[in-house]
Amino acid sequence: MARQTRAIINLSALEDNYEAMCAHAPNSKQVVVVKANAYGNGAVEVAKKLDAKASMFAVAFLDEVFELREAGIESPILVLQGPHEEHECELTKHLNVVWMLHLEQQLNWVNKRIENGELTDDRHWVKFDTGMHRLGLPCAEYDELAKAYPHIFSANTVITTHLARADEPEIDDALTRTQSFLTLMANRHQHFSIANSAGNIALPSAALDYNRMGISLYGSSPFENKQIVPNLKTVMTLESQVIAIREIDEGEAVGYGATWVAKRASRIATVALGYADGYPRHAPSGTPAYFDGHIAKLVGRVSMDMLTFDVTDLDTVEVGTRVELWGEKLNINDVAKFVGTIAYELMTRVSARVPRVYR
Ligand SMILES: *Cc1c(COP(=O)(O)O)cnc(C)c1O
């Protein structure tokens, strides 16, 4: 029996999500974020599906560009961390990349290339730090930087920032920071990119020239707040299969370390997927999975290649029964919450050993 473990990727749901997100901000151009293999969904397939529609793609660093170019994707690609080393700048035109510059050293590398005619002034964006304190130039140094690197701050330049709390629109943090950032920059620049998925949905004042959208396209709500229900369709369904069933007595334990002990005579289903496939090892007993129309609970520790579930109350489960770990029948955000993480992490960690099947 071949292992029936796979991630089914619904590309038409992806396209519908893209359209739904565009409808939120019809005056913005859309940057499709495909870093980390498109959050585990497959960067090449995602980019191919949206190539005709998206303005540009975005990845974290240069290495992620090559795979897309080799696959024939031609749209510009925004590199969110900018060049890590100066020599990467030499590839700007050849790879058709746009750098998001966040460090003074990067301003210098690009400024001197514009000065000597090697680059035009539309191959970079500039990122400022508005309180996330991770990447970005200090807003207070704007005047000094603009003076030192005049070619960087041109009329074409897209000025950008990333909001730490856009996914919590119920508090005003993201709104306040957007407003003060725009107030500071308004007399100086005309082109802006602020919103990620959450901003695009819940913070219209942040949806400007370009929005950078990741998680929403892959079908997961960026909001913890269940009152905000964006119109998104599931893209990834992670599925596997029962490969063994056993009956155990009350008092018997399951799995490494005997962390789960049966409180009654129980029926245990072993499923062909484990932490080597990217299922989180710290998922606790009780984490749900979907079996044949019903939810069953994980029992015992997650192994490298297997999971065990209590199916005592599910008579129809047998060797060969299909199991959905998350996806169309079981919302990934619900599983993430149980595991103490977010959908971003669950999706991106589905490992290379899991075949992606595109529908
Ligand atoms: C990953 C990333 C995004 C996309 O965020 P989502 O929440 O997935 O929409 C946007 N901007 C930057 C700078 C990012 O690193």
Q: Over the stretch 183-222, which tens digit does the pLDDT of each residue have? A: 999 889 999 999 999 999 999 999 999 999 999 999 999 9
Residue 1, pLDDT above cutoff 70: no
Mark whether 57 and 165 lie in a shared domain.
yes
Mark whether 75 and 214 lie in a shared domain.
yes
Query: According to the model, what pLDDT value does residue 42 have?
Result: 98
Mark whether 209 and 251 lie in a shared domain.
no
Confidence bin at 227 (pLDDT 50/70/90): confident
* Last residue in a domain, options 218, 245, 270: 218
Span from the CA of 145 to the centroid of ligand 1 (angstroms): 25
| Residue 224, in any domain of the structure | no
Mark whether 197 and 247 lie in a shared domain.
no
Q: Count the helix, strand and coil residues of the chain and give each as a percent rounded to the nearest 5.
A: 30, 25, 45
- Distance between CA atoms of 315 and 279, rounded to whole angstroms? 26
Decide if 263 is catalytic.
no
**Nearest atom (ligand 1) to Cα of 166:** 7
Decide if 256 is catalytic.
yes
Query: According to the model, what pLDDT value does residue 2 have?
Result: 86
| Residue 45, in any domain of the structure | yes
Confidence bin at 327 (pLDDT 50/70/90): very high
Mark whether 41 and 150 lie in a shared domain.
yes
Ligand 1 proximity of 196 Cβ (cutoff 6 Å)? yes
Residue 329, pLDDT above cutoff 70: yes
| Residue 231, in any domain of the structure | no
- Distance between CA atoms of 313 and 317, rounded to whole angstroms? 9
Q: Atom 6 of ligand 1 has which residue's CA nearest to it?
A: 214
Ligand 1 proximity of 81 Cβ (cutoff 6 Å)? no
Length of the chain: 359
Mark whether 162 and 80 lie in a shared domain.
yes
- The whole-number average pLDDT for the span 221-249 is 95
| Residue 2, in any domain of the structure | no
| Residue 4, in any domain of the structure | no
* Last residue in a domain, options 160, 191, 218: 218
Mark whether 132 and 51 lie in a shared domain.
yes
| Residue 1, in any domain of the structure | no
Which residue type does 213 have?
M
Mark whether 156 and 268 lie in a shared domain.
no
List strand residue ranges (DSSP E) for 49-96, in order.
56-59, 77-79
Mark whether 280 and 328 lie in a shared domain.
yes
Ligand 1 proximity of 214 Cβ (cutoff 6 Å)? yes
- The whole-number average pLDDT for the span 39-60 is 97
Count of domains forming the chain = 2
Mark whether 50 and 174 lie in a shared domain.
yes
Span from the CA of 337 to the centroid of ligand 1 (angstroms): 20
How much is the pTM?
0.96
Say which CATH number the domain at 40 has: 3.20.20.10
Confidence bin at 292 (pLDDT 50/70/90): confident
Ligand 1 proximity of 217 Cβ (cutoff 6 Å)? no
- The whole-number average pLDDT for the span 170-178 is 92
| Residue 170, in any domain of the structure | yes
pLDDT tens-place string over residues 95-147: 999 999 999 999 999 999 999 999 999 999 999 999 999 999 999 999 999 99
Ligand 1 proximity of 274 Cβ (cutoff 6 Å)? no
**Nearest atom (ligand 1) to Cα of 200:** 9
- The boundaries of the domain holding residue 349 are 236-358
Mark whether 73 and 172 lie in a shared domain.
yes
Mark whether 39 and 89 lie in a shared domain.
yes
Alpha helices in 51-135 (DSSP H): 63-70, 92-95, 104-115
| Residue 230, in any domain of the structure | no
Average predicted confidence (pLDDT) for the chain: 97
